[in-house]
Amino acid sequence: MRAVVLLLLVAAASAKVYERCELARTLKAAGMDGHKGVSLADWVCLSQWESSYNTRATNRNTDGSTDYGIFQINSKWWCIDGKTKEAKNGCNINCSALLTDNIQTAITCAKRVVEDPKWMTAWVAWNKHCAGKDLSRYLAGCRL
């Protein structure tokens, strides 16, 4: 039992939680600003409300699929986790690759998701907290 607790502590300690402006700079460098009409502020807002900038965030959905990582990408459509029925694996990756400190794989997958812009609305928290709102505070004070 003690070993289990220790392991959990180690896992928690190594989860990278991005600082808001650090994330904005990383996304900008990866060409996310304006990609398919989605602004940098939209991606930062989405990450704030979907994962609180935590690269290890996972959340189980009522349909049995799971959302993974900083953008909470769904295992039904975009990655394989071995426990989601009829998974499509649109990004052709193991879902665990969406939970790493380095978010380049998550960024590549998010770009693929919005290849069809209607998918943006699949992010429930983005719809609720970001769509059509003044998002200037998500980039405020960032050296971009």
Residues annotated as catalytic are: 50, 67
CA separation for the pair 126, 128 (Å, rounded): 5
For ligand NAG, the binding residue among 17, 21, 30, 80 (CB under 6 A) is: 80
Provide the 8-state DSSP code for 137.
Answer: G
Residue by residue, DSSP assigns 30-51 as TT-TTGGG--HHHHHHHHHHHH
Which residue, 45 or 97, is less far from ligand NAG as judged by CB?
Answer: 97
Provide the minimum distance between the beta carbon of 70 and ligand NAG in the complex, in angstroms, as a whole number: 18
Sheet holding 73-74, edge to edge: 58-60, 66-68, 73-74
Q: According to CB under 6 A, which residues from 48 to 67 bind ligand NAG?
A: none
> In the complex, what is the shortest distance from the CB of residue 25 to ligand NAG, in angstroms, rounded to a whole number?
28
Interface residue with ligand NAG, options 2, 37, 82, 116 (CB under 6 A): 82
> Count of CB atoms within 10 A of residue 66's CB?
19
Task: Verify binding: residue 96, ligand NAG, rule CB under 6 A.
Answer: yes
